């Protein structure tokens, strides 16, 4: 199999963790790899890390073939480093790396894409108005029903709303949205993660999961009827504080959260160096580490690549399961 890595924000830890990850993986794997990045940046970062692996340098996708080397760098040409901060240049390079990585997978030259962390501020400086990877890949794939999921050995989670201001969240929670979400995550758990007996927990929106309508109406009017309709799969709604305090996530294959921080705070506490972000509902496989650009340690060569390695492992697992379950 072959996997393509986008470089992420070059002023953050993206180049470092991509090289560290591939160096770890390539020692034990027969898989092939592509990095879409400025060639000079890869050489410079590899030298700083004292990396010894060999790689082939090409200028375009058209130069990739089945006979290519185990590791290929597709050159993005010129770059300028401003380590530790988002810039227009870093936004342009990270965005274009993703577009080219997607094209490589779409053309069948790689099985999955693994994306290094980007900066939304840098994207905005470069004129790209996307909330993040998830929404961009959904647009590229023309996928209307997609879900941001988080995968780990300790807990799997998914979000009903993604990068939304908290004051907009209640109006976005509708029965139609919940049903579409369930369809995607059910298919993902069954086909991508190869789980057969599925148990899903649903968190409430309001404190105490609404406390029978006394602290918000969303649970009584929308969330509970949705759970009752799908009671063969779903349980809840659970107050998120007590749910995680009791480590109840251990009893479920997936935890559905209503908004970003409700789910991501406990997930990252459990999995800060091992969690994986996965875009469910796409025809292609895309994973990433579950952390950001870490500008504060960029250039110091001390970043932990473990989450990126896990992103590769999950991408590989999902590719294999999709092939297995499509027969």
CA–CA separation, 15 and 46 (whole Å): 9
- pLDDT, residue 325, reads 87
- Lookup: tokens for 187: 């298919």
Question: Which two structure tokens, joined as six digits, stand for 41?
Answer: 């940046």
> At the fourth CATH level, which superfamily is domain 1-143+282-327?
Isopropylmalate Dehydrogenase (3.40.718.10)
Tokens of 58: 């090409």
**Cβ–Cβ < 8 Å for 116, 276:** no
Residues in the chain: 327
pLDDT of residue 52: 80
- Stretches where the chain sits below pLDDT 70 are 67
Looking at residue 275, its pLDDT comes to: 94
Please determine whether the domains at 1-143+282-327 and 145-275 fall in the same fold group of CATH: yes
Q: What is the pLDDT of residue 59?
A: 87
The pLDDT value given to residue 289: 94
pLDDT at 166: 95
Burial class (CB in 10 A: 0-12, 13-18, 19+), 308: buried
Q: What is the pLDDT of residue 20?
A: 96
Domain-wise residue ranges, the chain: 1-143+282-327, 145-275
What is the rounded distance in angstroms from the CA atom of residue 39 to the CA atom of residue 46? 11
Task: Return d(Cα 307, Cα 276) in angstroms, integer.
Answer: 6
The pair of structure tokens assigned to 27 is 């020692």
Q: Which CATH class is domain 145-275?
A: alpha beta
Residue 35: CB partners within 8 Å, gap ≥ 6?
4, 5, 7, 18, 22, 42, 55, 71, 72, 73, 74
Which neighbouring-strand residues pair with 56? Answer: 72
Written as six digits, the tokens of 44 are 């410079």
126 and 91 Cβ atoms separated by less than 8 Å: yes
| pLDDT tens readout for residues 96-150 | 999 999 999 999 999 999 999 999 999 999 999 998 898 999 999 999 899 999 9
Q: Which pTM value belongs to this model?
A: 0.93
């Amino acid at each position: 199999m072959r996997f393509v890595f986008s470089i992420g924000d070059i002023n953050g830890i993206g180049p470092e963790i991509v090289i560290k990850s591939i160096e770890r993986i390539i020692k034990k794997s027969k898989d092939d790899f592509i990095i879409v990045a400025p060639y000079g940046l890869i050489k410079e970062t590899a030298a700083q890390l004292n990396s010894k692996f060999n790689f082939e340098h090409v200028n375009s996708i058209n130069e990739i073939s089945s006979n290519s080397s185990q590791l290929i760098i597709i050159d993005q040409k010129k770059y300028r480093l401003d380590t530790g901060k988002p810039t227009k240049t870093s936004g342009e390079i990270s965005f274009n790396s993703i577009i080219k990585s997607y094209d490589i997978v779409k053309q069948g030259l790689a099985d999955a894409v693994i994306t290094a962390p980007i900066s939304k501020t840098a994207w905005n400086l470069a004129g790209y108005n996307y909330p993040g990877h998830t929404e961009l890949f959904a647009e590229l794939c023309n996928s209307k029903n997609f879900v941001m999921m988080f995968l780990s050995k300790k807990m799997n989670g998914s979000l009903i709303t993604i990068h939304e201001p908290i004051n907009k969240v209640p109006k976005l929670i509708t029965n139609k949205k919940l049903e579409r979400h369930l369809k995607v995550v059910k298919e993902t758990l069954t086909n991508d993660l190869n789980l057969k007996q599925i148990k899903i927990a649903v968190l409430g929106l309001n404190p105490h999961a609404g406390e029978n309508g006394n602290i918000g109406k969303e649970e009584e009017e929308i969330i509970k009827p949705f759970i009752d309709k799908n009671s063969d799969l779903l349980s809840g709604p659970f107050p998120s504080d007590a749910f995680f305090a009791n480590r109840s996530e251990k009893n479920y294959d997936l935890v559905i959260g209503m908004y970003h921080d409700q789910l991501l705070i406990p997930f990252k506490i459990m999995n800060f160096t091992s969690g994986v972000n996965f875009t469910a509902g796409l025809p292609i496989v895309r994973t990433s580490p579950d952390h950001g650009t870490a500008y504060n340690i960029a250039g110091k060569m001390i970043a932990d690549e473990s989450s990126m390695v896990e992103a590769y492992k999950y991408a590989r697992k999902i590719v294999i399961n999709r092939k297995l379950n499509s027969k």
